[in-house]
Amino acid sequence: MLKFGLNRLNYAVSSGLVKNREDQVPRNTDILVIGGGIIGWATAFWLRRDSKFSVTVVEKDPTYSQSATVLGLGSIRQQFSEPENIQMSLFSIEFLRNVSNYLWVEDPTESIDIGFNPQGCLMLANAENVDLLKENYLLQIDLGAKVELLTKDDLSTRWPWMNVDDIEMGCYGYENEGWFDPFLLLKALKIKCHFMGVNYVVGEVTDFHASPFIMVSSSGGESQRPPVSCKPLRSATVSLNKII
């Protein structure tokens, strides 16, 4: 349940957005996403797509003037040392390449432009870090990454302008890397989420209360023992600006 402090609500009726804002506020929601940046909207998209849960996104700054989403470079690479990061990147690049298949609205044939530009990333290593670079490379190709190891001579041949005096080896992503426009992707995610019925509240979460997890068995009995070590959100207090 979203518990709104009515004395803190800024209805701004003069905007003409809604006539009776209190009636428009989603008083209850299955899932509350705090933060409407690209992570928040992506979370809302997957939750709504793969379930029937009601989802509400709360974002305090609709201009995104200080948001990491629009201030970031929007780059993606597959060269990491942890399997989870590599796998998430490989999934994400597939999503970006086929974004229209995921985020179309009404017309499945529409083309969605997020400014994706496929370009490889080059990781360099000196003599001290060569073994680590090789270790990461083996892990990456084992998980399906499109990367190649390059010797010092290889680097000089491919990029003759590069000073390789203190470089021993490089690892280059020849596929599945590049950059995109974060704002265009954010916009596409928001539009798709609106189309899917996700609620969007412009406001700031100022307080929340958790309650003990109550698990109901198939026989109807209740158990107080939580299956995970976290408490579900019972209510949240939001300083509201507007509903979109």
Q: E strands along the chain, which residues?
A: 31-34, 55-59, 75-76, 117-118, 122-125, 147-151, 169-173, 178-179, 199-210, 215-216, 222-223, 233-243
- Please check whether residues 160 and 206 belong to one and the same domain: no
Q: Which domain holds residue 95?
A: 76-177
CATH number for the domain including 150?
3.30.9.10
Number of domains in the chain: 2
What is the model's pLDDT at position 24? 55
Question: Is residue 234 in some structural domain?
Answer: yes
Helix axes 182-196, 38-49, angle to 10 degrees: 30
- Please check whether residues 26 and 36 belong to one and the same domain: yes
Asked if 47 contacts 21 with a C-beta cutoff of 8 angstroms, the reply is no
What is the model's pLDDT at position 157? 96
Count CB atoms within 10 A of the CB of residue 172.
Answer: 20
pLDDT of 223 strictly over 60: no
Question: Is residue 13 in some structural domain?
Answer: no
What is the model's pLDDT at position 48? 94
Question: What tokens were used for 25?
Answer: 């506020």
What is the model's pLDDT at position 19? 40
Segment holding 244, helix H or strand E = none
What is the model's pLDDT at position 106? 87
9 contacts: CB under 8 Å, gap ≥ 6 = 21, 22, 239, 240
pLDDT top residue among 69 and 216 = 69
Question: Is residue 87 in some structural domain?
Answer: yes
Question: Is residue 109 in some structural domain?
Answer: yes
pLDDT of 6 strictly over 50: no
Listed range (27-41, 141-155, 208-222) with the worst mean pLDDT: 208-222
pLDDT of 224 strictly over 70: no
What is the model's pLDDT at position 205? 83
Output the average pLDDT for the chain. 82
- Please check whether residues 161 and 210 belong to one and the same domain: no
pLDDT of 76 strictly over 80: yes
CA distances from 235 to 8, 30, 32, 232 (A): 16, 11, 10, 9
What is the model's pLDDT at position 52? 86
Q: Is 12 left (phi over 0), alpha (psi -120 to 50) or beta?
A: left
- Please check whether residues 111 and 166 belong to one and the same domain: yes
- Please check whether residues 128 and 201 belong to one and the same domain: no
**Confidence band, pLDDT 50/70/90 cuts, at residue 182:** very high
What is the model's pLDDT at position 204? 84
